[in-house]
Amino acid sequence: MARMIFSNGSETRDLPVIQRRLAGIGITLRHWPEPATPRARELLAMAALSDAEKEELLGAVDNRFEELKKEAGYTTRDMIVLHEDIPGLADMLGKFDKIHLHTDDEVRYIVAGKGYFGFVEKDGNQFMLEVSAGDYINVPANTEHWFTLGDSKRIKAVRYFIDTSGWTPVYTKRAMANFG
């Protein structure tokens, strides 16, 4: 469940409050409980997954993909599995931990682990959003944001794409607020 963290140190887990604040910059957040069958739980608890295991887990949540295809024209999905033993993890994450945007929506359904998005409001104010299992988020194209894993170093998320070529980060060179 999501947690919103403000630069003055305060925070909230109140979902309607978080949803309203995100809606102000066009972002959708939904609570979609992660799959809970014994096999899904087993896969979600593993650090690394083979391609076949990723497909198995994707299959368990393809009802969501069907909804998104109908709702907004998403065409492909894959699963990203990050953990502390991936070679080059820091370099990979280093592409996204500075303020950037994409020309396609950034759509993630977190099924295990956690991570942190940072967002910029219209007045320049910045806040962070901790996302964890059960959080679906749609960050629209051209929305300034950043993403880090924080201390956890583990996340499993489904990525949904309209057009994967829009996935390259475009850096806006805006300075990030200090969240301590």
- Residues within the interface to Fe ion (CB under 5 A): 106
In the complex, the smallest distance separating the C-beta of residue 14 from Fe ion, rounded to whole angstroms, is 25
The answer to whether the CB of 134 falls within 8 A of the CB of 27 is no
In the complex, the smallest distance separating the C-beta of residue 105 from Fe ion, rounded to whole angstroms, is 10
In the complex, the smallest distance separating the C-beta of residue 9 from Fe ion, rounded to whole angstroms, is 25
CB atoms inside a 10 Å sphere around CB 60: 18
φ and ψ at residue 132, rounded to 5 degrees: -150, -175
CA angle 80–84–89, rounded 5-degree value: 65
In the complex, the smallest distance separating the C-beta of residue 45 from Fe ion, rounded to whole angstroms, is 27
Q: What is residue 128's three-state secondary structure? A: strand
Q: Which is nearer to Fe ion, 47 or 148 (CB)?
A: 148
DSSP letter for each residue of 10-65: -EE--HHHHHHHHHTTT-EEEE-PPP-SHHHHHHHH-S---HHHHHHHHHHTHHHH
Q: Which is nearer to Fe ion, 34 or 105 (CB)?
A: 105
Question: Could you tell me the sign of the dihedral formed by the alpha carbons of 136, 101, 27, 160, in that order?
Answer: negative
In the complex, the smallest distance separating the C-beta of residue 101 from Fe ion, rounded to whole angstroms, is 7
Q: Which is nearer to Fe ion, 47 or 101 (CB)?
A: 101
Q: Which is nearer to Fe ion, 47 or 179 (CB)?
A: 179
Query: What are the residues whose beta carbons fall under 8 Å from the beta carbon of 18, sequence distance 6 or more?
Result: 2, 4, 12, 29, 129
Q: Which is nearer to Fe ion, 105 or 106 (CB)?
A: 106
Task: Name the residue number minimizing CB distance to Fe ion.
Answer: 106
